[in-house]
Homo-oligomer: A and B are copies of this chain.
Amino acid sequence: MKNNLKVLRAIKNISQEELAKQISVSRQTINAMEKGKYVPSTVLALKLAKYFEKAVEEIFDLEDSD
């Protein structure tokens, strides 16, 4: 699964740390997600979607391997 977090974050011009704070996770969790190192929980995905005012599907995308 891939995602646009890095771009969305750039548009809002906030750091990984700031985003982490906003949605109450560690900075490493944000970093790891952006680097595609793991798949977040649905709660996290919904929080990110809410924060960026996007649909979950606009941020996260299934891949053939999923």
Copies of the chain in the assembly: 2
Q: Which residues of B contact A47 (CB under 8 A)?
A: 62, 66
State how many residues of chain A have any CB contact under 8 Å with chain B: 19
Q: Is the CB of B56 within 8 A of A43?
A: no
The listed residue (B1, B50, B55) touching A42 by CB distance below 8 A is: B1
The smallest beta-carbon distance between A43 and chain B, in angstroms, is 5
A→B interface (CB under 8 Å) = 1, 39-47, 49-50, 55-57, 60-62, 66
What are 13 inter-chain pairs, A to B, with CB distance below 8 A? A39-B42, A39-B43, A40-B41, A40-B42, A41-B42, A45-B56, A46-B60, A46-B61, A46-B62, A46-B66, A55-B56, A55-B57, A56-B57
